[in-house]
Amino acid sequence: MRLILLGPPGAGKGTQAQRLVEKHGIPQLSTGDMLRAAVQAGTEVGKRAKAVMDAGELVSDAIVNAIVAERIDQPDCARGFILDGYPRTLVQADAVESMLAERGIALDTVVELVVDDKALVGRIVKRAEEAKAAGQPVRKDDNPAVFEERLREYYKKTAPLIGYYYAKRTLKSVDGMAGIDAVTAEIEAVLSATAKETVAAK
């Protein structure tokens, strides 16, 4: 199974991706996590990405496309993967399509988590507080000022993907404001329906 989780920052993509990893045994490919790891390791990519990430802006398409292209060739991706936070621009969406076509594989579905903007800042602040309480590092971009920029980037560059995937008939929208378990159940329902459609089409 290959799916994309789409939605603004704080929509719960990471939380839901982890649940899908547990249930389906396929990896979560979070470009945010990969970029943070590169920053932490002080690699060339990390050095180039750090300031952009701290400002809440998007890292260049060339950098993230290269990271994902390399990652999907790892053996643990053979049975599928969950793209979390990628693609985030139309250029990236075209890139993922070519990447998959070159490998003779296809996307199963794109799940959009529909959320209310006003609730998102509260979620981000809570995420930062929880990380702090657990003694974990707090993300530099999880604060209200940077969050506003991340949200602006989302609407300018990522939200157009909703129309892109809707036109391709691969978009499934799920109510991201429901409780975590309810969202998981809705996503699972979407995945079973998609699997049935695929079988029926064969």
Residues near ligand AMP (CB under 6 A) = 9, 31-32, 35, 52-53, 56-59, 64, 85-86, 88, 92, 141, 150
Catalytic residue among 2, 19, 36, 150: 150
Catalytic residue among 13, 19, 23, 140: 13
Is there a catalytic annotation at residue 103? no
Answer yes or no: are the C-beta atoms of 171 and 165 closer than 8 Å.
yes
User: Nearer to ligand AMP by C-beta: 156 or 196?
Assistant: 156
Is there a catalytic annotation at residue 139? yes
Q: How many Cβ atoms from other residues are within 10 Å of residue 75's Cβ?
A: 6
User: Nearer to ligand AMP by C-beta: 53 or 115?
Assistant: 53
Instruction: Spell out the alpha helix ranges (H) of the chain.
Output: 13-24, 31-41, 44-54, 61-71, 90-102, 117-133, 144-153, 160-167, 180-201
> What is residue 176's DSSP assignment?
T
Q: Which residue is nearest to ligand AMP (CB)?
A: 32
Is there a catalytic annotation at residue 88? yes
User: Nearer to ligand AMP by C-beta: 144 or 201?
Assistant: 144
25: Cβ–Cβ under 8 A, 6 or more apart, which residues? 79
Catalytic residue among 48, 71, 123, 127: 127
